[in-house]
Structure 1
Amino acid sequence: MHHAVELRAPGLTARADEVVAWIWDSDLTTFLEELVADYRGWDGERRRQNHDRDLTVSAVFRSGGHVGLTWSLRPWPQAAGGWGASVTTWLEAGEQMASLAADVRDFLAGVRP
């Protein structure tokens, strides 16, 4: 299963049309739900990549109960002259993270074979 992935931030738009879906037993939904379960925080960075390593999501917890999710897109990571882009979103560790996890779960459930 392939997805188009687009990152946007002020002054930046990056898109890759052939990003391979997550491996389902360690998918993005599970990663986000683990972050939701740890809403009181954790030390360091947590990271999840898709199978081809062209999409990475990393998470850090900061004081005040906020989670920084950095979405990094690097299509064809082994190719010479490739490109990469990252965007960080900040969410409240409770309800906003739970809402994101539910939205991603619903989206991926609709595309699973």
Structure 2
Amino acid sequence: MSSRYAAPDEPAELTVRCQDDHSVSVKFCDLFDEDEDLAHYAIEVCAAGLNARLDGLPTWNWGGDLAPFLEKLTEDFRGWDGERVWQTIDRDLTVRAVFRSGGHVGLTWTLRPWQMSVGSWEASVTTWLEAGEQMSALATDVRHFLGQEAGHHG
């Protein structure tokens, strides 16, 4: 396995901060390629009194990943009713999106590894972002981090 970020001009991590509370953040890091179709990354969620990390999240080259979900939210910047949900295939990471008046999107990031194990745990944080520019930048940054600009992982 090779490191995804061999080039010095590429970011090694991506941090999303809540516009309402800058102590709340989500960090994508430690991306590595397994093969041409699959890579893995880690995600950390932080808030006052909380710091949780989940390693080995898969990202696939075939488009059912987080970046297209965020891009769809960006396209609907005028809002939507209810909640939209995206999950990794094994449900270790869930992202729930809601639209609030004033043009803001709340993304609740839930880490829940080992769901069927006795030692399972769960941690969640919610980041609030502006529905237009901030969501668009996030979708672009996530696509870049996951290495999906040209339809493949580095």
Q: Taking structure 2 as the reference length, what is the TM-score of the superposition?
A: 0.68
Q: For residue 111 of structure 2, what is the amino acid of its counterpart?
A: L
Number of equivalent positions: 113
Q: After superposition, what is the alpha-carbon deviation per residue over 1:27-76, rounded to whole angstroms, capped at 9, x for unaligned?
A: 10100000000000000000000111100111000000000000000111
49 and 93 in structure 1: CA distance in 2 versus 1, 3 angstrom threshold? same
Q: CA deviation at 1:18?
A: 2.2
Checking the alignment, whether the CA contact within 8 Å between 1:22 and 1:28 is kept in structure 2 is no
| 1:59 matched residue in structure 2 | 97
**1:28 aligned onto 2:66:** yes
Which residue of structure 2 aligns with residue 112 of structure 1?
153
In 1: Cα distance, 2:56 partner to 2:65 partner: 17
User: Is the 1:72–1:87 contact (alpha carbons within 8 Å) kept by the matching residues of 2?
Assistant: yes
| Deviation at residue 3 of structure 1 after TM alignment | 1.4
Superposition deviation, residue 22 in structure 1: 5.0
Distance of 2:104 and 2:60 partners within structure 1: 25
**1:69 is paired with a residue of what secondary structure?**
strand
CA distance in 1, matches of 2:61, 2:97: 19
> Runs in 1 of length 4+ with deviation above 3 angstroms?
none
> Which residue in the other structure is 2:124 paired with?
86
The answer to whether the 8 Å contact 2:41/2:57 transfers is yes
Q: Which shows bigger deviation, 15-24 or 93-102?
A: 15-24
CA RMSD of aligned residues (A): 1.7
TM-score by length of 1: 0.92
% identical aligned pairs = 63
Unaligned segments of structure 1, at least 5 residues: none
